[in-house]
Every structure is written in C-alpha cells, then in structure tokens.
Amino acid sequence: MKWSKLIFTDLDGSMIGYDGRIDGISVALETLYRLRVKVIPVTTKTLAEVSHLWSNIAPYDQLIAITEMGGAICAPRGYIVTDNPLRLEEFECKALGLPIREFEDRLERILRDCDYIRLSKASPSEAKQIVLLPEPTAILATRRYFLEVLWSKDRRCILEREEDLRKEGLNIVVGDRFIHVGSHHGKIKAILELLKNPIIVGLESIGIGDSIMDQEMLEITDKAIVIPNIDGSTKVKPRRGDYIIAPYPAPQGWVWASKLITLNLV
C-alpha cells in the first residue's frame, strides 16, 4: 500500500488511557488505514507488547513500530533497509543500541548497592506487580532486548549513580514510575532513521504524544498533537507555536485527533 501520510504516536497516555482503556481506537485505526494513513507506534513498550496490541486492535495492518524508546525499528520482512537485520518476534528489526546482554554487567556493577528490580529479569508475579497489568500481558513487558526498565522503592540510590552509568555509555531516562536505561539515544534518533526509508521519504508526518519523553518527536514531525492528562493539564510543551492540544485525555483524545487528521484539519 502506498501511504498518504504518517502518524508517529506514543501509546500509554496518548492512544491508550492511563486505565488501559482503548474505546474507539480500533474504529479510528481502521478509518485511517482505509485513507492510507500509516500509524507507527513510538513507545517504551517491547515489540512483544506492541505486536500483541496491534493484533487485537488493527489485525489487518502490517505493524511498523519503534520500540523500547528507540532501541529498534521493527517491521515486516523487507520493509527495513539495513544490512543483516535482526529477527525478533517474527519481525525484522534495525537495532539502534546495544543489546541488554552487552551492558547488563556494567549496569549491575554500578548499581550493586541499590535495591531494584530489572523488568527483563522479573518473574511473572514481579512483572504483574511492577507494570500493573494482568500477568499474561505483564510477561510481554519482560521480553526486552535494548532498554532495561528499573523499578525501585528508593530511586535515590540509582539516580546518585547516573553519572557513573553515563561514563559507561549508558543513558538514563526517568519516568513517572520507572527508570529506563539503554545505550541508544531515544525516540528521536529512531524516527529520523525511519524517515530516511525510501517508502516513507517525503510523506507528511504528524506526531501524537502526552509526555516529556515525546517532546522531541512532537518537535520534528510536520504537525503535532498533544494529548492532555485526565485533569486537562499537559506534561509536554513542544517548542513550536503550531501544535494542537486535544480536548480530551486518552483514548478519547486520540480518537478526536484521528478525526482531525482524516478531515485534513491538522
């Protein structure tokens, strides 16, 4: 299919409600698909999580996704232009960072005195407790390749060692509930890399996000839509004057944004 435009979208808090609701999303995605608008998830989630989600809400669509906060670009076979693509979860992926197995010794050495749980090593019951999802879904969050997610009751110990981690080539992103550690450089590098793909070059792009981790994405796409919190406030303010703030939180805000896009009002 030849696409007419692209949507780069965060998932949690942008497309998916903070309570896990996805009301109206399947219909919105099908409408966009029929209009040849390609929706590309850009997320901290694993490929296993995104693939499972997409099979339920858009089973007709061939998933292209930026996973693990820019750790990899994954797509059906033949979509990605790269030498020796990785085969992960029945997809071909271009890695943009080191595999966890290549930096986990450094991570554990630096944090040896801290009390934390690595999500990639979590048991099913630990994963359920950490990600606050049913166990079968939580297990998918443990299938990580590039971005380690740390959960701790006392973040201070980890944050005090941030500079030591950076000296070892590891980057830290502090989220609302988790600390993310990887060797890659976030969502932005992955988006810029994907935009070089011959099947995408020249298409108008729209970014949809809700958090500070989406800011760079919302600044480099041609258009930007911010999804607010439940109370109507926003966590991110892109450094541009033309972004739109949806009137509703996720998922209603994402559905509203999709209607704007289908009507060419963005």
CB-count burial class (<10 Å; 0-12, 13-18, 19+) for 146:
buried
pLDDT reading at 81 higher than 80: no
Q: How far is CA 142 from CA 5, 203, 255, in A?
A: 33, 34, 29
Starting at the edge strand that comes first in sequence, how are the strands of the sheet with 244-245 ordered?
A: 37-41, 5-9, 204-209, 223-226, 244-245
pLDDT reading at 152 higher than 90: yes
Q: What pLDDT score was predicted for residue 180? A: 96
Task: Identify how many contiguous H helices and E strands the chain contains and give both numbers.
Answer: 10, 13
- Asked if 107 and 165 count as a contact pair (C-beta separation under 8 A), the reply is yes
In percent, the amount of the chain with pLDDT more than 90 equals 86
Q: What pLDDT score was predicted for residue 105? A: 98
pLDDT reading at 65 higher than 80: yes
Separation between Cα atoms, residue 228 and residue 241, nearest integer Å: 17
pLDDT reading at 80 higher than 80: no
Taking alpha carbons only, the member of 244, 153, 249, 189 closest to residue 42 is 189
97: left (phi over 0), alpha (psi -120 to 50) or beta: beta
From 10, 19, 113, 164, the catalytic residue: 10
DSSP state string for 184-234: S--HHHHHHHHTTSTTTTT-EEEEEE-SGGGHHHHHHSSEEEEPP-TTS--
Rounded to 5 degrees, φ, ψ at 161 are -105, 15
The model's pTM: 0.95
Domains 5-97+186-262 and 100-182 in one fold? no
Q: Which CATH number does 5-97+186-262 carry?
A: 3.40.50.1000
What is the average pLDDT across 45-61?
A: 96
Q: Which CATH number does 100-182 carry?
A: 3.30.980.20
What pairs with residue 205 in β-bridges? 6
Q: How many C-beta atoms surround the C-beta of residue 88 within 10 A? A: 19
Q: What is the pLDDT of residues 190-206, one digit of tens each?
A: 999 999 988 888 999 99
Give residue limits of the domains in the chain: 5-97+186-262, 100-182
Separation between Cα atoms, residue 185 and residue 187, nearest integer Å: 7
Q: What is the pLDDT of residues 154-198, one digit of tens each?
A: 899 999 999 999 999 999 999 888 999 999 988 999 999 999 988
Is 10 a catalytic site residue?
yes
